[in-house]
Chain A
């Protein structure tokens, strides 16, 4: 006896995003303002000070806006903080962002 055949449909859903084109990176960090974003976890409070110290050794004069200026990006107010992030980055003159810590 021949087995029946089944014509089956796709079980997923359409992807619902618009592609984001990343801005070209500068060739050096010299003279730039680095802004920090933190989820206040996974030893961010130990990691970020070492990052600052190490980067300043390589790029003296580098300016940092510390993560406390932005609030916890994965805390109780994540939604509001991320919604207002573009404005804050502009306000602080951020040239780039170091975001952490995923773990």
Chain B
């Protein structure tokens, strides 16, 4: 909404934006980062979704209309943005405790202690990239700041990464800077969190965990790189919780640690690694970043037949996806992820089935009632959601409106090839988990990890 208003202002057309009370700060922050200070706003007091029709009419015809007229006819107030440091500037000098306090007060930390980003520590990270420190990777909304090799290194130091993680950090930032990823929506109310998926020999070279305890903090590579991404989104994209206003997660998820695939098991089964299914060559180091809104139960599936497991996936993991499918249908994208442990993968592969077969089975067999989908859409703020209309306008396949029966069952997934399958976790157990992705916000974006020419020597010197 604020982005549209700014586009109109840039075109020289005065605007006023209707915004509910809880989103006033976010609207101003988004506009400021796009160059508009003091965007005229007409406040709608309260939460629109929980107002009665009568209350809504009263508010709009009274206070909102007065605010609209004021915004369209009142004086324009221009405010200059305060001067900021330059990249590389020394901004503080002090003891460890004093540095923590300085960064905390400026909202430059994630609430955990940081490693002080001294120039010499940053330089150690820069040795692991061939790119100049000032090289701009992209501009990150909503705060619209330059993502550079330099500030990747600075935040990597702060998050507790090792210098040799730098090539992975750069690839991650390249992925989130891709406009397809829509980092500007990472502060949306569902509170989604990026998940970093890793493939390639670098998994072993940097000692990532992909067995028991995967997705849990505890191994430095998985944990500090996961933390880095959250910290980077806060400092460079500007996604901060109160007292700032750009992160509007109603009830948010916290950072995910890195999820590496167990490529030994994938090779043993004759399956393709996740990265290969996304178009990369086997043996290339690849990061993929995608959003996760929530996870399913970590379901255990048993039995020596593939369908014993697949039917459990449909019931539990597909069932967990169902409450989110209205978002997928509305936005036209949905890239859920299924993480299966090696023993389950072996059982399924024994019958000659592949990752694509698993995805196809989930796609074909997971359904939700149309009435549930439409009800949850309206309650979630998509108040114009209408399956009949969307089918008529060919936005979605005819299967979503084969009759007007509200109890009819409609597909949960949009496309089988958009369901990702990863083999990871404890080889000694039989659990799987689904990760619900947030439609067009944070679709999977992959980048090859570029290593410095002397990577092997650099790594050897660390051992």
Q: Give chain A's interface residues, CB within 8 Å of chain B.
A: 3-29, 35, 37, 39-47, 50-51, 53-55, 58, 73-76, 78-79, 81-82, 85-86, 89-90, 94-103
Q: A26-B73, A55-B68 are in contact. Are A11 and B117 (CB under 8 A)?
A: yes
Distance, CA A8 to CA B139, complexed state (A): 23
Nearest residue (CB) in B for A10 is B85
B81 interface residue (CB < 8 Å to A)? yes
B351 interface residue (CB < 8 Å to A)? no
Q: Tell whether, in the assembled complex, residue B73 and residue A28 are in contact, meaning their CB atoms are under 8 Å apart.
A: yes
Query: When A and B form their complex, which 7 residue pairs have the shortest distance between CB atoms, in order from nearest?
Result: A100-B18, A86-B11, A102-B19, A13-B145, A73-B4, A6-B116, A103-B20
Q: Tell whether, in the assembled complex, residue A74 and residue B78 are in contact, meaning their CB atoms are under 8 Å apart.
A: no
**Residues on the A chain within 8 Å of B229, using CB:** none
**Residues on the B chain within 8 Å of A5, using CB:** 93-95
Distance, CA A19 to CA B462, complexed state (A): 47
**Residues on the A chain within 8 Å of B22, using CB:** 103
User: What is the 8 Å Cβ interface bit string for chain B, positions 1-22, against chain A (1 contact, 0 not)?
Assistant: 1111111111111111111101
Nearest residue (CB) in A for B155 is A11
B299 interface residue (CB < 8 Å to A)? no
User: What is the 8 Å Cβ interface bit string for chain B, positions 364-387, against chain A (1 contact, 0 not)?
Assistant: 000000000000000001111000
Q: Tell whether, in the assembled complex, residue B148 and residue A13 are in contact, meaning their CB atoms are under 8 Å apart.
A: yes
Q: Tell whether, in the assembled complex, residue B87 and residue A98 are in contact, meaning their CB atoms are under 8 Å apart.
A: no
**Residues on the B chain within 8 Å of A15, using CB:** 33, 81, 84, 143-145
Q: Tell whether, in the assembled complex, residue A8 and residue B118 are in contact, meaning their CB atoms are under 8 Å apart.
A: yes
Shortest distance in angstroms between B46's beta carbon and chain A's nearest beta carbon? Answer: 10
Q: Tell whether, in the assembled complex, residue B76 and residue A8 are in contact, meaning their CB atoms are under 8 Å apart.
A: no
Shortest distance in angstroms between B62's beta carbon and chain A's nearest beta carbon? Answer: 9
Interface SS of B by simple majority: mixed
Q: Give chain B's interface residues, CB within 8 Å of chain A.
A: 1-20, 22-23, 26-27, 33-38, 40, 42, 44, 47-49, 53, 56-57, 60-61, 64-65, 68-69, 72-76, 78, 81, 84-96, 99, 102-103, 108, 116-119, 122, 139-140, 143-148, 151, 154-155, 158, 179, 235-236, 330-332, 381-384, 395, 440
Distance, CA A55 to CA B147, complexed state (A): 44
**Residues on the B chain within 8 Å of A24, using CB:** 76
**Residues on the B chain within 8 Å of A102, using CB:** 1-2, 17-20, 23, 26-27
Shortest distance in angstroms between A78's beta carbon and chain B's nearest beta carbon? Answer: 8
Q: Tell whether, in the assembled complex, residue B117 and residue A8 are in contact, meaning their CB atoms are under 8 Å apart.
A: yes
Shortest distance in angstroms between A68's beta carbon and chain B's nearest beta carbon? Answer: 10
Q: Tell whether, in the assembled complex, residue A41 and residue B235 are in contact, meaning their CB atoms are under 8 Å apart.
A: no
Distance, CA A21 to CA B353, complexed state (A): 60
Shortest distance in angstroms between A45's beta carbon and chain B's nearest beta carbon? Answer: 5
**Residues on the B chain within 8 Å of A53, using CB:** 61
Q: Tell whether, in the assembled complex, residue B9 and residue A8 are in contact, meaning their CB atoms are under 8 Å apart.
A: no
Shortest distance in angstroms between B331's beta carbon and chain A's nearest beta carbon? Answer: 6
User: Besides the contacts A6-B94, A21-B78, what 7 more A-B pairs have beta carbons closer than 8 Å?
Assistant: A20-B9, A43-B49, A45-B383, A58-B69, A86-B7, A98-B68, A101-B20
Distance, CA A101 to CA B23, complexed state (A): 10
Q: Tell whether, in the assembled complex, residue A29 and residue B20 are in contact, meaning their CB atoms are under 8 Å apart.
A: no
Q: Tell whether, in the assembled complex, residue B20 and residue A10 are in contact, meaning their CB atoms are under 8 Å apart.
A: no
Q: Tell whether, in the assembled complex, residue B95 and residue A6 are in contact, meaning their CB atoms are under 8 Å apart.
A: yes
Distance, CA A11 to CA B96, complexed state (A): 16
Shortest distance in angstroms between A75's beta carbon and chain B's nearest beta carbon? Answer: 7
Q: Tell whether, in the assembled complex, residue A75 and residue B331 are in contact, meaning their CB atoms are under 8 Å apart.
A: yes
**Residues on the A chain within 8 Å of B23, using CB:** 102-103
24 contacts between A and B (CB under 8 A): A5-B95, A7-B90, A9-B117, A10-B86, A11-B158, A12-B108, A14-B87, A17-B34, A20-B36, A23-B76, A25-B72, A25-B74, A25-B75, A58-B69, A82-B7, A85-B8, A95-B14, A97-B5, A97-B14, A98-B16, A100-B1, A101-B48, A102-B1, A102-B18
